[in-house]
Structure 1
């Protein structure tokens, strides 16, 4: 009971922050949404970190380990370990860099494509079922929110002003 009171007190103090409710509500919704999506995992073969790297390669195409580290917002040594573990699993392929013999280009392998496709399909199926429960107006509101969330992320990445970004209807992933 003491714990429940502490949680309630903490929530009341968060609610008391002026103009903080949208940020708090959005943050909590995103965390819960991400947890639901993670719950749709089809394979324990790769970690979430490895899956994210595979998905980036799948969506963006071959790139250097440094570019992949930057895209994933991790340090290059960390990405080197991720790539090595994915290579050991046969999920990525390394090729010589066409102009810099010191570097390699990493690409998702056919086995890696299968893992990414299965993960995306499971998530897409679950999410499509949830979206079909909404009204067309609610789905359109979510479509606009996706653009705004993308703009928030892009603004943080670029350190520039936040502007709405039109999101494509589908990505290579199909989600």
Structure 2
């Protein structure tokens, strides 16, 4: 069993590794592409489907005013559009457009190609461990610590 100081050191190592990989993946993005926060919202719309701006703000853990600016940029760029909510006619949903989907898929493909090539340098066991670690990172990201 590890001590508090060992767990803190391990947590620091995991945090640093995740941050460095995230920075490296962002470096694979084409110059002039969307900011990470705009791309995160676009990716969420692609994965989860249409959502209200307030639901997006909550999911991305940003202020509603910040989300309003992000959404407006995506709308202006033709990457998202507003649609009426079929359940609550007073509400408006933000939905990804075909152009937005193309951008997400192109970016995802570029990142996955780089990552697959980088993973070629790993042993089979290291690749299996990395995939397991990714699943654990996802679980940690979804944990409710609020």
Q: TM-score over 0.5 for the alignment?
A: yes
Deviations 1:104-147 (A, max 9, x none): 11111111112111111111110000112211111111121112
Aligned equivalent of 1:5: none
Question: Structure 1, unaligned stretches of length 5 or more?
Answer: 1-16, 161-175
Say how many residue pairs are matched: 142
- Provide the TM-score with structure 2 as the length reference: 0.88
1:31 to 1, 13, 19: 19
CA distance in 1, matches of 2:99, 2:138: 30
| SS, match of residue 18 in structure 1 | helix
Aligned equivalent of 1:64: 52
Contact 1:93-1:109 within 8 A present in 2 as well: yes
Contact 1:42-1:122 within 8 A present in 2 as well: no
1:159 aligns with 2:141: no
CA distance in 1, matches of 2:122, 2:108: 21
1:57-136 maps to which residues of 2 (within 5 A)?
57-136=45-124
| SS, match of residue 95 in structure 1 | strand
Q: State the Cα distance separating 1:55 from its structure 2 match.
A: 0.4
> In angstroms, what is the RMSD of aligned CA positions?
1.8
Which runs of structure 1 show a deviation greater than 4 angstroms over 4 or more consecutive aligned residues? none
| SS, match of residue 72 in structure 2 | helix
- Provide the TM-score with structure 1 as the length reference: 0.75
Contact 1:91-1:110 within 8 A present in 2 as well: yes
Question: Structure 2, unaligned stretches of length 5 or more?
Answer: none
CA distance in 1, matches of 2:77, 2:136: 37
